[in-house]
C-alpha cells in the first residue's frame, strides 16, 4: 500500500551507512520516500548521503541532504530549520545516529564512554529538542528512537559494551518522557528495539559470529534493515495515530521468548 506517508516531511539522522550494504537508516529513508514522504537525509558524510539521495530520486522519490554533526546544538537546530525551509513543514523525526564502543566498567575509557553517550543520547536529545517546535507548528508529529537489544537484555558471551548498552537503555527513558510530555499536543514518541540484524555495522563480525547470533533468536533467522524500516513506517504513519510510549522489539522474539529448560 503506497502513500502511507504522503504529504509528510521526514528527517532521518544517520541515514547513510558507513560501509557496504543497507543500514537501518538507509532502509528507513528509502521506505519513507517510497511511501510518499519528502526525506531529509542527515549525515556527517555529505558524499554518502548524496549517493543515497540519488538512489531515492532515481526511484521517483524526493530527498535532500543535510551534512553535519548533530551532536552540536547549533547544527541540530540548523537541521530542523533546513527541513522546514526546504519542504515547508516537519512531521517525522527518525533518530538513528548511533555508535558502539568496547569495555566493561573496569576497562572502558572515559573517551569511549563520553563518545558513545554523545552519539546515541545527546544527538537524539538535540534533534528532538529542535524538531519538536516545528512539529507543534504543523499540528503534531512522530518521533522515533532507534535502540537495541543491548539496552534491553544482558548479553552474556559477548565483548563488554557498557557504554553502548547504557546509552541504548537511556533511549527507552527518553522515549517515555517525550511521549508523556507531548501526548496532549498530538506528538507521539516511540522506540524500536533492534535485534540481530545484518547491517554494515555488524559486517566485521564474520560468518561464524553471525551464525551464533542467528541461533540465539527464537525464530532462528537473521533480521534485515528492511524489517526495522517497515516498523518505522508504521510508527511514522497515521496508522499509529493512537500509539505512543511503546518500546517495540523487532527481533525475532529475542526479548520476549526464552527456551524452557528440558
Please list, residue by residue across 116-152, b when 16 or more beta carbons sit within 10 angstroms of its beta carbon and e when fewer do: bbbbbbbbbbbbbebbbebbeebeebbbbbbbbbbbb
* DSSP letter for each residue of 167-196: HHHHHHHHHHHHHHHHGGGTEEEEEEEE-S
> Which residues are marked as active site?
164
Residue for grid cell 539522522: 13
Q: How far apart are CA 253 and CA 256, in angstroms?
A: 5
Q: How far apart are CA 10 and CA 111, in angstroms?
A: 32
Residue for grid cell 543491548: 150
SS3 of 131, please?
helix
In angstroms, the Cα distances linking 99 to 65, 113, 186 are: 21, 11, 31
Q: How many CB atoms lie within 10 A of CB 30?
A: 23
Amino acid at each position: 500500500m503506497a502513500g502511507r506517508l504522503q504529504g509528510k516531511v521526514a528527517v532521518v539522522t544517520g541515514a547513510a551507512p558507513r560501509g557496504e550494504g543497507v543500514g537501518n537508516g538507509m532502509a528507513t529513508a528509502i521506505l519513507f520516500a517510497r511511501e510518499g514522504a519528502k526525506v531529509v537525509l542527515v549525515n556527517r558524510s555529505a558524499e554518502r548521503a548524496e549517493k543515497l539521495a540519488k538512489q531515492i530520486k532515481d526511484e521517483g522519490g524526493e530527498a535532500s541532504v543535510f551534512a553535519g554533526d548533530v551532536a552540536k546544538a547549533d547544527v541540530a537546530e540548523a537541521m530542523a530549520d533546513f527541513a522546514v525551509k526546504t519542504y515547508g513543514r516537519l512531521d517525522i523525526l527518525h533518530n538513528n545516529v548511533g555508535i558502539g564502543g568496547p569495555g566493561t566498567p573496569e576497562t572502558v575509557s572515559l573517551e569511549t564512554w563520553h563518545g558513545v553517550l554523545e552519539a546515541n543520547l545527546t544527538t537524539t536529545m538535540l534533534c528532538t529538542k529542535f524538531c519538536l517546535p516545528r512539529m507543534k507548528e504543523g499540528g503534531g508529529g512522530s518521533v522515533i528512537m532507534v535502540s537495541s537489544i543491548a539496552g534491553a537484555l544482558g548479553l552474556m558471551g559477548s565483548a563488554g559494551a557498557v557504554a553502548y548498552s547504557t546509552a541504548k537503555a537511556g533511549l527507552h527513558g527518553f522515549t517515555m518522557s517525550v511521549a508523556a510530555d507531548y501526548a496532549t499536543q498530538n506528538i507521539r514518541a516511540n522506540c524500536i528495539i533492534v535485534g540481530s540484524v545484518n547491517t554494515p555495522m555488524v559486517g566485521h563480525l564474520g560468518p561464524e559470529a553471525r551464525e551464533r547470533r542467528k541461533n540465539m533468536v527464537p525464530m532462528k533467522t537473521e533480521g534485515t534493515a528492511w524489517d526495522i524500516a517497515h516498523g518505522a513506517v508504521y510508527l511514522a504513519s497515521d496508522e499509529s495515530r493512537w500509539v505512543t510510549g511503546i518500546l517495540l522489539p523487532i527481533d525475532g522474539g529475542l526479548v520476549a521468548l526464552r527456551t524452557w529448560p528440558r
